[in-house]
Amino acid sequence: MSRLNGKVAIITGAASGMGRATAIRFAGEGAKIVIADLNKDGGESAARDCRENGSEAVFIRTDVSAEADIKAAVDRAVKEFGRLDIIYNNAGLGGAVGPIESITVENWDKTMAILLRGVFLGIKHSIPAMRKAGGGSIISTASIAGIQGYAGIHPYSAAKAAVINLTRSAATELAKDKIRVNCICPGGINTPLVYGNVKGGENAAAGFLSKMQPMTREGRPDDIANMALFLASDESEWITGAAMVVDGGYTAAGNFFNSREGAGLQGDALPSDGFAGPSFETRKS
């Protein structure tokens, strides 16, 4: 396959989950990959998987909330591979959870730094390199939580809603440069960020996630990788400013997590209070 031949992509949060699946998929389609993640072991392993899938890949340790780190990832892509065509701002975490009156300012700010500032920085620093390349595709991970309200994940929901509208405003500004800006709104995807906090692990998480939406299976990282590939490829050259929902019909059916049954399932996946960190720091079953 060669849908991304000759293209260079940075993927943040690519050490596991949706980012890793996307990196491997992009590599198989001919893209050269920069894995940008805090998780060194997972990131280097993902880079090896990309190389085994037929392309070149490097890892750079990256805190997406730090401007210098994002700039360094872009510089690494250009130095290593000569250009930048795609950035997928995917890194994320659960962040501050619990009743809104119990959320600390510190945990609110930490959540926003990863989920929103990280996307802003990825957009900001990719623009000059993409202009030199004659255009590009900027993709970010938003969420159905940015479309609907969810009790207990207030900063996460607010940040993801902001990502959706930042996508729209950036798309209008950058269209003249042939830089497309889109985001993906996943539903219930069975990633380490979810099943790392579930007793019984991946299989148990698949069981409750499969009950969330009309399509009766859990979302999988490859479902998001498929959409990211489309948005990264020239097949989507007339699509910009879009929030692409990938949720098995969840939002079409209504807000399940605000039902009594759904609230119980959400409680299985997230702590009731405090701060839910990145996937490599979650509790293992």
Quickly tell me which residue has 């890793």 as its tokens.
20
DSSP 189: B
Which residues neighbour 118 within 8 Å (Cβ) at sequence distance 6 or greater?
Answer: 12, 64, 65, 70, 89, 91
SS (H, E, C) 74-117: HHHHHHHHCCCCEEEECCCCCEEECCHHHCCHHHHHHHHHHHHH
> Nearest to residue 13, comparing CAs of 23, 5, 3, 4?
23
- 69, two tokens: 């780190």
> What's the rounded Cα separation, in Å, for the pair 200 and 145?
25
How many Cβ atoms sit within 10 Å of the Cβ of residue 122? 25
Instruction: Give burial (CB, 10 Å; 0-12/13-18/19+) of 90.
Output: buried
* SS3 at position 155: helix
> What's the rounded Cα separation, in Å, for the pair 184 and 94?
17
The DSSP code sequence of 195-218 is: HTTSTTHHHHHHHHHTTSSSS-S-
Q: Which of 88, 156, 195, 250 is catalytic?
A: 156
What angle is formed at CA 68 by the lines to CA 76 and CA 283, rounded to 5 degrees? 90
Q: How far is CA 3 from CA 20, 29, 138, 170, 177, in A?
A: 18, 5, 16, 25, 22
Our answer to whether residue 250 is catalytic in this structure is: no
What residues act catalytically?
156
